[in-house]
Structure 1
Protein backbone atom coordinates (compact mmCIF):
# COMPACT_ATOMS: atom_id res chain seq x y z
CA UNK A 1 0.00 0.00 0.00
CA UNK A 2 3.00 2.31 0.29
CA UNK A 3 3.88 2.00 -3.38
CA UNK A 4 3.38 5.26 -5.35
CA UNK A 5 0.31 5.62 -7.54
CA UNK A 6 0.99 4.33 -11.07
CA UNK A 7 -0.86 7.36 -12.47
CA UNK A 8 1.13 10.52 -11.76
CA UNK A 9 -1.00 12.92 -13.80
CA UNK A 10 -4.31 12.82 -15.65
CA UNK A 11 -2.37 12.59 -18.94
CA UNK A 12 -1.10 9.16 -17.84
CA UNK A 13 -4.64 7.84 -18.27
CA UNK A 14 -4.13 8.14 -22.04
CA UNK A 15 -1.19 5.71 -21.86
CA UNK A 16 -3.28 3.34 -19.75
CA UNK A 17 -6.30 3.32 -22.09
CA UNK A 18 -4.09 2.97 -25.16
CA UNK A 19 -2.69 -0.32 -23.89
CA UNK A 20 -6.27 -1.56 -23.59
CA UNK A 21 -6.72 -0.71 -27.27
CA UNK A 22 -3.55 -2.69 -28.03
CA UNK A 23 -4.89 -5.68 -26.10
CA UNK A 24 -8.12 -5.65 -28.08
CA UNK A 25 -6.32 -5.16 -31.40
CA UNK A 26 -4.23 -8.27 -30.76
CA UNK A 27 -7.27 -10.54 -30.29
CA UNK A 28 -8.27 -12.77 -33.23
CA UNK A 29 -11.89 -11.64 -32.75
CA UNK A 30 -11.00 -7.97 -32.28
CA UNK A 31 -13.68 -5.30 -32.50
CA UNK A 32 -11.24 -2.78 -33.98
CA UNK A 33 -7.64 -2.63 -35.08
CA UNK A 34 -5.22 -0.05 -33.71
CA UNK A 35 -1.76 -1.10 -34.93
CA UNK A 36 -0.18 1.94 -33.26
CA UNK A 37 -1.54 1.39 -29.75
CA UNK A 38 1.24 -0.77 -28.29
CA UNK A 39 3.85 1.74 -29.47
CA UNK A 40 1.88 4.76 -28.24
CA UNK A 41 1.10 3.30 -24.83
CA UNK A 42 4.72 2.26 -24.40
CA UNK A 43 6.35 0.78 -21.33
CA UNK A 44 4.72 3.36 -19.08
CA UNK A 45 1.24 2.38 -20.22
CA UNK A 46 1.97 -1.31 -19.75
CA UNK A 47 3.31 -0.63 -16.25
CA UNK A 48 0.10 1.21 -15.36
CA UNK A 49 -2.05 -1.71 -16.51
CA UNK A 50 0.06 -4.11 -14.45
CA UNK A 51 -0.14 -1.88 -11.38
CA UNK A 52 -3.90 -1.28 -11.49
CA UNK A 53 -5.96 -3.79 -9.48
CA UNK A 54 -7.25 -6.35 -12.00
CA UNK A 55 -5.83 -4.05 -14.65
CA UNK A 56 -6.25 -6.37 -17.63
CA UNK A 57 -9.63 -7.69 -16.51
CA UNK A 58 -11.11 -4.19 -16.30
CA UNK A 59 -10.29 -3.29 -19.89
CA UNK A 60 -13.81 -3.98 -21.13
CA UNK A 61 -15.47 -0.55 -20.51
CA UNK A 62 -12.66 1.24 -22.38
CA UNK A 63 -12.80 -1.24 -25.25
CA UNK A 64 -16.56 -0.86 -25.49
CA UNK A 65 -16.24 2.92 -25.45
CA UNK A 66 -13.71 2.87 -28.28
CA UNK A 67 -15.74 0.50 -30.44
CA UNK A 68 -19.02 2.40 -29.98
CA UNK A 69 -17.42 5.78 -30.59
CA UNK A 70 -15.80 4.43 -33.76
CA UNK A 71 -19.26 3.49 -35.04
CA UNK A 72 -20.76 6.88 -34.23
CA UNK A 73 -17.82 8.87 -35.66
CA UNK A 74 -18.08 7.03 -38.98
CA UNK A 75 -21.83 7.60 -39.08
CA UNK A 76 -21.53 11.34 -38.37
CA UNK A 77 -18.88 11.68 -41.07
CA UNK A 78 -21.18 9.88 -43.50
CA UNK A 79 -23.94 12.29 -42.45
CA UNK A 80 -21.86 15.30 -43.43
CA UNK A 81 -19.36 16.19 -40.69
CA UNK A 82 -16.59 18.17 -42.38
CA UNK A 83 -14.46 18.96 -39.31
CA UNK A 84 -13.79 16.78 -36.26
CA UNK A 85 -12.74 18.70 -33.16
CA UNK A 86 -11.10 16.06 -30.96
CA UNK A 87 -10.64 17.55 -27.48
CA UNK A 88 -8.11 16.04 -25.05
CA UNK A 89 -7.31 13.71 -27.94
CA UNK A 90 -4.52 12.00 -26.05
CA UNK A 91 -3.21 9.10 -28.10
CA UNK A 92 -6.27 8.68 -30.31
CA UNK A 93 -5.17 7.37 -33.72
CA UNK A 94 -8.59 7.35 -35.41
CA UNK A 95 -7.41 9.46 -38.39
CA UNK A 96 -4.81 6.76 -39.08
CA UNK A 97 -6.88 3.65 -38.42
CA UNK A 98 -10.45 4.46 -39.55
CA UNK A 99 -11.68 4.60 -43.13
CA UNK A 100 -12.15 8.36 -43.33
CA UNK A 101 -12.47 10.57 -46.42
CA UNK A 102 -9.34 12.51 -47.37
CA UNK A 103 -11.41 15.73 -47.41
CA UNK A 104 -12.18 15.46 -43.67
CA UNK A 105 -10.46 18.00 -41.42
CA UNK A 106 -9.41 16.58 -38.04
CA UNK A 107 -8.20 18.85 -35.21
CA UNK A 108 -6.20 16.84 -32.68
CA UNK A 109 -6.19 18.96 -29.51
CA UNK A 110 -4.39 18.31 -26.24
CA UNK A 111 -1.82 19.76 -23.88
CA UNK A 112 1.42 20.63 -25.71
CA UNK A 113 3.52 17.87 -24.12
CA UNK A 114 0.99 15.20 -25.05
CA UNK A 115 0.71 16.47 -28.61
CA UNK A 116 4.50 16.49 -28.89
CA UNK A 117 4.76 12.90 -27.65
CA UNK A 118 2.04 11.69 -30.00
CA UNK A 119 3.66 13.32 -33.03
CA UNK A 120 7.05 11.84 -32.18
CA UNK A 121 5.59 8.35 -31.90
CA UNK A 122 3.63 8.68 -35.15
CA UNK A 123 6.54 10.00 -37.25
CA UNK A 124 6.39 8.51 -40.72
CA UNK A 125 2.76 7.38 -40.46
CA UNK A 126 0.25 8.87 -42.92
CA UNK A 127 -3.30 9.71 -41.77
CA UNK A 128 -6.34 9.02 -43.95
CA UNK A 129 -7.54 12.62 -43.69
CA UNK A 130 -6.18 16.11 -43.05
CA UNK A 131 -4.89 16.33 -39.46
CA UNK A 132 -3.99 19.53 -37.64
CA UNK A 133 -2.28 19.30 -34.26
CA UNK A 134 -3.15 21.90 -31.63
CA UNK A 135 -1.35 22.18 -28.31
CA UNK A 136 -3.70 24.06 -25.99
CA UNK A 137 -5.06 24.15 -22.45
CA UNK A 138 -8.85 24.15 -22.86
CA UNK A 139 -9.24 25.84 -19.48
CA UNK A 140 -7.82 29.06 -21.01
CA UNK A 141 -10.93 30.79 -22.34
CA UNK A 142 -9.29 32.99 -24.99
CA UNK A 143 -7.25 30.16 -26.51
CA UNK A 144 -10.25 27.84 -26.39
CA UNK A 145 -12.55 30.28 -28.18
CA UNK A 146 -9.96 31.12 -30.81
CA UNK A 147 -9.62 27.41 -31.56
CA UNK A 148 -13.38 26.96 -31.71
CA UNK A 149 -13.72 29.87 -34.14
CA UNK A 150 -11.22 28.15 -36.44
CA UNK A 151 -13.16 24.92 -36.22
CA UNK A 152 -16.43 26.67 -37.08
CA UNK A 153 -14.97 27.98 -40.35
CA UNK A 154 -15.25 24.53 -41.94
CA UNK A 155 -18.44 22.91 -40.66
CA UNK A 156 -20.49 20.93 -39.96
CA UNK A 157 -18.43 20.19 -36.84
CA UNK A 158 -18.36 16.97 -34.83
CA UNK A 159 -16.83 17.31 -31.34
CA UNK A 160 -15.28 14.34 -29.55
CA UNK A 161 -14.50 14.60 -25.83
CA UNK A 162 -13.59 10.99 -25.06
CA UNK A 163 -12.32 10.56 -21.50
CA UNK A 164 -12.33 14.31 -20.81
CA UNK A 165 -15.45 15.57 -19.05
CA UNK A 166 -15.25 13.52 -15.85
CA UNK A 167 -11.95 15.26 -14.99
CA UNK A 168 -13.55 18.73 -15.25
CA UNK A 169 -15.71 20.58 -12.75
CA UNK A 170 -19.38 21.15 -13.61
CA UNK A 171 -18.60 24.86 -14.08
CA UNK A 172 -15.82 24.03 -16.55
CA UNK A 173 -18.10 21.65 -18.45
CA UNK A 174 -20.78 24.33 -18.62
CA UNK A 175 -18.38 26.86 -20.12
CA UNK A 176 -17.16 24.27 -22.61
CA UNK A 177 -20.73 23.36 -23.58
CA UNK A 178 -21.64 26.99 -24.17
CA UNK A 179 -18.55 27.71 -26.29
CA UNK A 180 -18.96 24.56 -28.37
CA UNK A 181 -22.51 25.62 -29.16
CA UNK A 182 -22.07 29.38 -29.58
CA UNK A 183 -18.49 29.70 -30.85
CA UNK A 184 -17.63 26.40 -32.55
CA UNK A 185 -21.25 26.12 -33.74
CA UNK A 186 -20.83 22.35 -33.53
CA UNK A 187 -23.64 20.18 -34.83
CA UNK A 188 -22.74 17.00 -32.90
CA UNK A 189 -20.97 16.32 -29.61
CA UNK A 190 -19.82 12.78 -28.82
CA UNK A 191 -18.92 12.09 -25.18
CA UNK A 192 -18.72 9.48 -22.47
CA UNK A 193 -20.74 10.23 -19.37
CA UNK A 194 -21.09 8.77 -15.88
CA UNK A 195 -23.74 9.20 -13.21
CA UNK A 196 -23.39 9.69 -9.44
CA UNK A 197 -23.91 5.94 -9.21
CA UNK A 198 -20.66 5.47 -11.13
CA UNK A 199 -18.89 7.89 -8.80
CA UNK A 200 -19.95 5.77 -5.81
CA UNK A 201 -18.77 2.62 -7.56
CA UNK A 202 -15.34 4.14 -8.23
CA UNK A 203 -15.06 5.42 -4.66
CA UNK A 204 -15.76 1.92 -3.33
CA UNK A 205 -13.37 0.25 -5.76
CA UNK A 206 -9.70 -0.57 -5.28
CA UNK A 207 -8.82 2.16 -7.80
CA UNK A 208 -9.21 5.09 -5.39
CA UNK A 209 -5.53 5.35 -4.49
CA UNK A 210 -4.36 4.69 -8.05
CA UNK A 211 -6.46 7.60 -9.33
CA UNK A 212 -5.50 10.11 -6.65
CA UNK A 213 -3.60 12.21 -9.21
CA UNK A 214 -6.43 12.05 -11.74
CA UNK A 215 -9.35 13.37 -9.72
CA UNK A 216 -12.82 12.91 -11.20
CA UNK A 217 -15.49 15.56 -10.69
CA UNK A 218 -18.24 15.44 -13.32
CA UNK A 219 -21.04 12.95 -12.65
CA UNK A 220 -24.21 14.96 -13.35
CA UNK A 221 -27.35 13.82 -11.55
CA UNK A 222 -29.46 14.97 -14.50
CA UNK A 223 -27.40 13.12 -17.10
CA UNK A 224 -27.44 14.63 -20.58
CA UNK A 225 -30.13 17.09 -19.45
CA UNK A 226 -27.24 18.99 -17.85
CA UNK A 227 -26.39 20.28 -21.33
CA UNK A 228 -29.90 21.51 -22.26
CA UNK A 229 -29.42 25.10 -20.96
CA UNK A 230 -26.38 25.42 -23.23
CA UNK A 231 -28.26 24.51 -26.40
CA UNK A 232 -27.78 20.74 -26.57
CA UNK A 233 -30.19 17.80 -26.68
CA UNK A 234 -29.55 14.09 -26.44
CA UNK A 235 -29.71 12.37 -29.82
CA UNK A 236 -28.49 8.95 -28.70
CA UNK A 237 -27.35 7.21 -25.53
CA UNK A 238 -25.54 3.86 -25.54
CA UNK A 239 -25.23 2.18 -22.17
CA UNK A 240 -21.72 0.86 -21.53
CA UNK A 241 -23.26 -2.20 -19.91
CA UNK A 242 -25.75 -2.81 -22.71
CA UNK A 243 -23.15 -2.34 -25.40
CA UNK A 244 -20.75 -4.67 -23.60
CA UNK A 245 -23.34 -7.42 -23.93
CA UNK A 246 -23.97 -6.64 -27.58
CA UNK A 247 -20.26 -6.61 -28.38
CA UNK A 248 -19.46 -9.59 -26.14
CA UNK A 249 -16.92 -7.65 -24.10
CA UNK A 250 -18.48 -7.66 -20.68
CA UNK A 251 -17.44 -8.32 -17.11
CA UNK A 252 -16.96 -11.89 -15.96
CA UNK A 253 -20.19 -13.30 -14.61
CA UNK A 254 -22.32 -11.01 -16.77
CA UNK A 255 -24.98 -13.71 -16.99
CA UNK A 256 -25.66 -13.32 -13.26
CA UNK A 257 -26.19 -9.55 -13.53
CA UNK A 258 -28.48 -10.06 -16.53
CA UNK A 259 -30.54 -12.49 -14.50
CA UNK A 260 -30.61 -10.14 -11.52
CA UNK A 261 -31.85 -7.25 -13.67
CA UNK A 262 -34.97 -9.24 -14.55
CA UNK A 263 -35.96 -9.18 -10.90
CA UNK A 264 -35.42 -5.44 -10.41
CA UNK A 265 -37.97 -2.63 -10.80
CA UNK A 266 -37.86 -0.84 -14.16
CA UNK A 267 -36.57 2.38 -12.58
CA UNK A 268 -33.65 0.57 -11.02
CA UNK A 269 -32.80 -1.15 -14.30
CA UNK A 270 -32.85 2.21 -16.11
CA UNK A 271 -30.61 3.76 -13.44
CA UNK A 272 -28.14 0.94 -14.00
CA UNK A 273 -28.31 1.44 -17.76
CA UNK A 274 -27.55 5.14 -17.31
CA UNK A 275 -24.73 4.56 -14.85
CA UNK A 276 -22.16 4.89 -17.63
CA UNK A 277 -22.51 5.37 -21.34
CA UNK A 278 -21.65 7.02 -24.62
CA UNK A 279 -23.87 9.95 -25.59
CA UNK A 280 -24.29 11.81 -28.84
CA UNK A 281 -25.72 15.31 -28.42
CA UNK A 282 -26.99 17.57 -31.18
CA UNK A 283 -27.24 21.34 -31.07
CA UNK A 284 -30.70 22.88 -30.86
Structure 2
Protein backbone atom coordinates (compact mmCIF):
# COMPACT_ATOMS: atom_id res chain seq x y z
CA UNK A 1 0.00 0.00 0.00
CA UNK A 2 1.49 3.39 -0.95
CA UNK A 3 1.72 6.28 1.48
CA UNK A 4 -1.03 8.34 -0.16
CA UNK A 5 -3.41 5.43 0.39
CA UNK A 6 -2.55 5.60 4.08
CA UNK A 7 -4.42 8.89 4.26
CA UNK A 8 -7.49 6.65 4.57
CA UNK A 9 -6.33 5.91 8.12
CA UNK A 10 -5.89 9.61 8.84
CA UNK A 11 -9.46 10.30 7.71
CA UNK A 12 -10.69 7.40 9.85
CA UNK A 13 -8.78 8.86 12.81
CA UNK A 14 -10.51 12.21 12.33
CA UNK A 15 -13.90 10.46 12.13
CA UNK A 16 -13.15 8.53 15.32
CA UNK A 17 -12.13 11.68 17.20
CA UNK A 18 -15.19 13.55 15.94
CA UNK A 19 -17.45 10.73 17.08
CA UNK A 20 -16.09 11.08 20.61
CA UNK A 21 -17.03 14.76 20.91
CA UNK A 22 -20.08 15.77 22.91
CA UNK A 23 -21.15 17.97 19.97
CA UNK A 24 -20.25 15.43 17.27
CA UNK A 25 -21.59 16.12 13.78
CA UNK A 26 -21.99 12.36 13.23
CA UNK A 27 -21.13 9.08 14.93
CA UNK A 28 -18.92 6.44 13.36
CA UNK A 29 -18.68 3.44 15.72
CA UNK A 30 -16.48 1.57 13.23
CA UNK A 31 -13.66 4.10 12.77
CA UNK A 32 -11.62 2.90 15.78
CA UNK A 33 -12.04 -0.71 14.71
CA UNK A 34 -10.64 0.05 11.26
CA UNK A 35 -7.80 2.15 12.66
CA UNK A 36 -6.24 -0.48 14.88
CA UNK A 37 -2.98 0.96 16.22
CA UNK A 38 -2.57 3.33 13.26
CA UNK A 39 -4.35 6.10 15.14
CA UNK A 40 -1.64 6.44 17.77
CA UNK A 41 1.10 6.23 15.15
CA UNK A 42 -0.42 8.99 13.01
CA UNK A 43 -1.03 11.25 16.00
CA UNK A 44 2.61 10.84 17.05
CA UNK A 45 3.94 11.54 13.54
CA UNK A 46 1.59 14.33 12.45
CA UNK A 47 0.76 15.91 15.80
CA UNK A 48 -2.54 17.57 16.62
CA UNK A 49 -4.51 18.52 13.53
CA UNK A 50 -7.56 20.26 14.93
CA UNK A 51 -8.29 22.32 11.81
CA UNK A 52 -7.94 19.32 9.51
CA UNK A 53 -10.02 17.22 11.88
CA UNK A 54 -12.84 19.75 11.76
CA UNK A 55 -12.54 20.01 7.98
CA UNK A 56 -12.94 16.24 7.60
CA UNK A 57 -15.86 16.23 10.05
CA UNK A 58 -17.66 18.98 8.15
CA UNK A 59 -17.00 17.34 4.80
CA UNK A 60 -18.30 14.02 6.11
CA UNK A 61 -21.46 15.53 7.58
CA UNK A 62 -22.33 17.57 4.49
CA UNK A 63 -21.80 14.57 2.22
CA UNK A 64 -23.87 12.39 4.57
CA UNK A 65 -26.73 14.87 4.33
CA UNK A 66 -26.59 15.06 0.53
CA UNK A 67 -26.39 11.29 0.13
CA UNK A 68 -29.36 10.70 2.43
CA UNK A 69 -31.35 13.44 0.73
CA UNK A 70 -30.79 11.96 -2.73
CA UNK A 71 -31.26 8.34 -1.67
CA UNK A 72 -34.42 9.40 0.15
CA UNK A 73 -36.03 10.41 -3.15
CA UNK A 74 -36.06 6.75 -4.19
CA UNK A 75 -34.34 7.56 -7.48
CA UNK A 76 -30.93 6.05 -6.72
CA UNK A 77 -30.53 2.30 -7.04
CA UNK A 78 -26.73 2.10 -6.88
CA UNK A 79 -23.98 4.10 -5.17
CA UNK A 80 -20.49 3.73 -6.62
CA UNK A 81 -17.82 4.94 -4.19
CA UNK A 82 -14.52 5.34 -6.06
CA UNK A 83 -11.51 5.52 -3.77
CA UNK A 84 -13.71 4.45 -0.85
CA UNK A 85 -10.84 4.03 1.60
CA UNK A 86 -12.14 3.23 5.08
CA UNK A 87 -15.53 4.86 4.56
CA UNK A 88 -18.28 3.23 6.65
CA UNK A 89 -21.44 4.85 5.31
CA UNK A 90 -23.02 1.51 4.27
CA UNK A 91 -22.84 0.52 7.95
CA UNK A 92 -23.59 3.73 9.83
CA UNK A 93 -26.14 5.55 7.65
CA UNK A 94 -29.87 4.64 7.67
CA UNK A 95 -29.91 3.36 4.09
CA UNK A 96 -32.69 1.31 2.49
CA UNK A 97 -31.89 -2.44 2.40
CA UNK A 98 -32.65 -2.53 -1.33
CA UNK A 99 -29.92 0.00 -2.18
CA UNK A 100 -26.84 -1.37 -3.94
CA UNK A 101 -23.52 0.10 -2.78
CA UNK A 102 -20.18 -0.67 -4.45
CA UNK A 103 -16.86 0.33 -2.88
CA UNK A 104 -13.72 0.50 -5.02
CA UNK A 105 -10.14 0.88 -3.83
CA UNK A 106 -6.73 -0.80 -3.78
CA UNK A 107 -6.64 -4.55 -3.02
CA UNK A 108 -4.73 -4.34 0.29
CA UNK A 109 -7.06 -1.70 1.68
CA UNK A 110 -10.20 -3.55 0.60
CA UNK A 111 -8.93 -6.84 2.03
CA UNK A 112 -8.13 -5.29 5.41
CA UNK A 113 -11.49 -3.55 5.52
CA UNK A 114 -13.31 -6.77 4.63
CA UNK A 115 -11.50 -8.65 7.38
CA UNK A 116 -12.11 -6.08 10.11
CA UNK A 117 -15.80 -5.58 9.31
CA UNK A 118 -16.69 -9.20 8.58
CA UNK A 119 -18.74 -9.55 11.78
CA UNK A 120 -20.80 -6.44 11.06
CA UNK A 121 -23.76 -6.22 8.73
CA UNK A 122 -24.19 -3.25 6.37
CA UNK A 123 -27.53 -1.48 6.11
CA UNK A 124 -27.74 -2.08 2.36
CA UNK A 125 -26.41 -4.45 -0.31
CA UNK A 126 -22.65 -3.97 -0.27
CA UNK A 127 -19.94 -5.18 -2.61
CA UNK A 128 -16.23 -4.35 -2.61
CA UNK A 129 -14.12 -4.23 -5.76
CA UNK A 130 -10.32 -4.27 -5.59
CA UNK A 131 -9.01 -1.98 -8.30
CA UNK A 132 -6.31 0.63 -8.85
CA UNK A 133 -8.33 3.54 -10.23
CA UNK A 134 -5.26 4.95 -11.97
CA UNK A 135 -5.45 1.96 -14.32
CA UNK A 136 -7.74 3.53 -16.89
CA UNK A 137 -8.49 0.30 -18.78
CA UNK A 138 -9.74 -1.56 -15.71
CA UNK A 139 -11.55 1.54 -14.51
CA UNK A 140 -13.36 1.79 -17.83
CA UNK A 141 -14.40 -1.86 -17.60
CA UNK A 142 -15.79 -1.17 -14.14
CA UNK A 143 -17.76 1.86 -15.32
CA UNK A 144 -19.09 -0.03 -18.34
CA UNK A 145 -20.42 -2.83 -16.14
CA UNK A 146 -21.95 -0.50 -13.56
CA UNK A 147 -23.60 1.53 -16.32
CA UNK A 148 -25.10 -1.65 -17.78
CA UNK A 149 -26.34 -2.82 -14.38
CA UNK A 150 -28.06 0.15 -12.73
CA UNK A 151 -30.05 2.94 -14.34
CA UNK A 152 -29.68 5.57 -11.62
CA UNK A 153 -26.19 5.63 -10.12
CA UNK A 154 -24.61 8.10 -7.72
CA UNK A 155 -20.81 8.25 -7.98
CA UNK A 156 -18.81 9.42 -4.95
CA UNK A 157 -15.15 10.47 -5.10
CA UNK A 158 -14.65 11.80 -1.58
CA UNK A 159 -11.08 12.91 -0.93
CA UNK A 160 -9.87 11.64 -4.31
CA UNK A 161 -9.81 14.44 -6.87
CA UNK A 162 -7.38 16.64 -4.96
CA UNK A 163 -4.63 14.04 -5.38
CA UNK A 164 -5.10 13.83 -9.16
CA UNK A 165 -3.66 16.06 -11.85
CA UNK A 166 -5.97 18.23 -13.94
CA UNK A 167 -5.48 15.85 -16.87
CA UNK A 168 -6.45 12.86 -14.71
CA UNK A 169 -9.57 14.61 -13.40
CA UNK A 170 -10.51 15.60 -16.94
CA UNK A 171 -10.24 12.00 -18.10
CA UNK A 172 -12.24 10.73 -15.13
CA UNK A 173 -14.96 13.35 -15.73
CA UNK A 174 -15.15 12.35 -19.39
CA UNK A 175 -15.20 8.64 -18.55
CA UNK A 176 -18.08 9.14 -16.13
CA UNK A 177 -19.95 11.46 -18.46
CA UNK A 178 -19.86 8.91 -21.28
CA UNK A 179 -21.89 6.54 -19.11
CA UNK A 180 -25.46 7.80 -19.35
CA UNK A 181 -26.67 5.90 -16.27
CA UNK A 182 -24.04 7.39 -13.95
CA UNK A 183 -26.38 10.25 -13.22
CA UNK A 184 -24.90 12.03 -10.19
CA UNK A 185 -21.35 12.74 -9.04
CA UNK A 186 -20.51 13.90 -5.50
CA UNK A 187 -17.12 15.30 -4.44
CA UNK A 188 -15.43 18.18 -2.66
CA UNK A 189 -13.94 21.07 -4.61
CA UNK A 190 -10.89 22.94 -3.32
CA UNK A 191 -9.95 26.51 -4.31
CA UNK A 192 -6.48 27.38 -5.68
CA UNK A 193 -5.86 29.50 -2.57
CA UNK A 194 -6.09 26.34 -0.49
CA UNK A 195 -3.20 24.75 -2.39
CA UNK A 196 -1.02 27.81 -1.89
CA UNK A 197 -1.73 28.11 1.82
CA UNK A 198 -1.48 24.37 2.45
CA UNK A 199 1.87 24.00 0.71
CA UNK A 200 3.29 26.88 2.75
CA UNK A 201 1.94 25.68 6.09
CA UNK A 202 3.79 23.54 8.60
CA UNK A 203 0.95 21.00 8.48
CA UNK A 204 1.31 20.79 4.72
CA UNK A 205 5.06 20.18 4.99
CA UNK A 206 4.61 17.36 7.52
CA UNK A 207 1.84 15.89 5.40
CA UNK A 208 3.79 15.81 2.14
CA UNK A 209 6.99 14.61 3.83
CA UNK A 210 5.21 11.65 5.41
CA UNK A 211 2.65 10.75 2.76
CA UNK A 212 4.28 11.82 -0.51
CA UNK A 213 8.08 11.81 -0.12
CA UNK A 214 8.32 15.59 0.05
CA UNK A 215 6.29 16.20 -3.10
CA UNK A 216 3.07 18.25 -3.01
CA UNK A 217 0.23 15.84 -2.26
CA UNK A 218 -2.63 17.99 -3.54
CA UNK A 219 -2.70 18.93 -7.21
CA UNK A 220 -6.23 19.67 -8.34
CA UNK A 221 -7.93 22.97 -7.48
CA UNK A 222 -9.28 24.49 -10.70
CA UNK A 223 -9.40 28.25 -11.17
CA UNK A 224 -12.72 27.79 -13.03
CA UNK A 225 -14.43 26.13 -10.08
CA UNK A 226 -17.52 24.18 -11.13
CA UNK A 227 -17.28 25.60 -14.66
CA UNK A 228 -14.40 23.16 -15.15
CA UNK A 229 -16.92 20.31 -14.98
CA UNK A 230 -19.70 22.10 -16.82
CA UNK A 231 -17.40 22.29 -19.83
CA UNK A 232 -17.16 18.49 -19.67
CA UNK A 233 -20.90 17.79 -19.84
CA UNK A 234 -21.96 18.09 -16.19
CA UNK A 235 -24.51 20.35 -14.51
CA UNK A 236 -24.41 21.56 -10.91
CA UNK A 237 -27.27 19.96 -9.02
CA UNK A 238 -26.28 21.15 -5.52
CA UNK A 239 -23.41 23.10 -4.04
CA UNK A 240 -22.81 23.31 -0.28
CA UNK A 241 -20.18 25.75 0.91
CA UNK A 242 -17.83 24.26 3.49
CA UNK A 243 -17.28 27.77 4.89
CA UNK A 244 -20.99 28.22 5.43
CA UNK A 245 -21.19 24.77 7.01
CA UNK A 246 -18.26 25.60 9.30
CA UNK A 247 -20.13 28.70 10.50
CA UNK A 248 -23.33 26.70 10.92
CA UNK A 249 -21.57 24.02 12.98
CA UNK A 250 -19.46 26.59 14.88
CA UNK A 251 -16.18 25.15 13.67
CA UNK A 252 -14.42 28.28 12.43
CA UNK A 253 -10.98 28.78 13.98
CA UNK A 254 -8.96 31.79 15.09
CA UNK A 255 -9.14 34.85 12.88
CA UNK A 256 -11.67 33.20 10.60
CA UNK A 257 -14.34 33.72 13.25
CA UNK A 258 -13.92 37.47 12.72
CA UNK A 259 -12.94 37.41 9.06
CA UNK A 260 -15.90 35.38 7.80
CA UNK A 261 -18.72 37.77 8.86
CA UNK A 262 -16.67 40.80 7.77
CA UNK A 263 -16.17 39.38 4.30
CA UNK A 264 -19.78 38.34 4.08
CA UNK A 265 -21.11 41.83 4.81
CA UNK A 266 -18.40 44.16 3.50
CA UNK A 267 -16.85 42.18 0.64
CA UNK A 268 -19.65 39.95 -0.68
CA UNK A 269 -17.87 39.15 -3.94
CA UNK A 270 -14.78 37.90 -2.10
CA UNK A 271 -17.01 35.95 0.28
CA UNK A 272 -18.87 34.35 -2.63
CA UNK A 273 -15.62 33.37 -4.37
CA UNK A 274 -14.22 31.88 -1.17
CA UNK A 275 -17.34 29.96 -0.20
CA UNK A 276 -18.05 28.60 -3.66
CA UNK A 277 -14.41 27.63 -4.13
CA UNK A 278 -14.35 25.39 -1.07
CA UNK A 279 -17.48 23.31 -1.32
CA UNK A 280 -19.18 19.97 -1.64
CA UNK A 281 -20.57 19.63 -5.14
CA UNK A 282 -23.26 17.36 -6.50
CA UNK A 283 -23.14 17.23 -10.27
CA UNK A 284 -25.76 15.73 -12.54
CA UNK A 285 -25.17 14.19 -15.94
CA UNK A 286 -26.26 16.88 -18.38
CA UNK A 287 -28.11 14.39 -20.60
CA UNK A 288 -29.10 11.77 -18.00
CA UNK A 289 -32.77 11.77 -17.13
CA UNK A 290 -33.47 8.05 -17.11
CA UNK A 291 -36.13 6.28 -15.10
CA UNK A 292 -35.69 4.07 -12.09
CA UNK A 293 -34.81 0.48 -12.92
CA UNK A 294 -37.48 -1.60 -11.14
CA UNK A 295 -35.18 -4.65 -10.98
CA UNK A 296 -31.63 -3.48 -10.23
CA UNK A 297 -29.00 -6.19 -10.11
CA UNK A 298 -27.74 -7.34 -6.75
CA UNK A 299 -24.18 -6.26 -5.90
CA UNK A 300 -22.92 -9.82 -6.23
CA UNK A 301 -23.72 -9.70 -9.94
CA UNK A 302 -21.48 -6.70 -10.52
CA UNK A 303 -17.87 -6.72 -11.65
CA UNK A 304 -17.52 -10.47 -11.94
CA UNK A 305 -14.92 -10.03 -14.66
CA UNK A 306 -12.78 -7.38 -12.99
TM-score, structure 1 as length reference: 0.92
Shift of 1:123: 1.7
> Aligned equivalents of 1:55 and 1:184: distance in 2?
40
Shift of 1:53: 4.8
1:26 corresponds, among 20, 23, 28, to: 20
The superposition leaves residues 128-148 of structure 1 with CA deviations (integer Å, 9 ceiling, x where unpaired) of 111110011112122111111
1:209 corresponds, among 205, 210, 213, to: 205
> Aligned equivalents of 1:273 and 1:195: distance in 2?
9
Say if 2:195 is the partner of 1:199.
yes
Deviates more, 1:261-270 or 1:195-204: 261-270
* Preserved contact between residue 149 and residue 184 of structure 1 (Cα < 8 Å): no
Q: Give the paired residue count.
A: 278
- Alignment match, 1:168: 164
Unaligned residue ranges in structure 2 (runs of 5+) = 287-306
> Aligned equivalents of 2:237 and 2:43: distance in 1?
34
Unaligned residue ranges in structure 1 (runs of 5+) = 1-7
Alignment of 1:64-143 (within 5 A): 64-79=58-73, 80-143=75-138
RMSD: 1.8
> Aligned equivalents of 1:107 and 1:226: distance in 2?
27
- Alignment match, 1:4: none
TM-score, structure 2 as length reference: 0.86
The superposition leaves residues 219-252 of structure 1 with CA deviations (integer Å, 9 ceiling, x where unpaired) of 1010111112321011221111110111223324
- Alignment match, 1:178: 174
- Alignment match, 1:224: 226
> Helix, strand or coil: the match of 2:279?
strand
> Helix, strand or coil: the match of 2:171?
helix
Shift of 1:184: 6.2
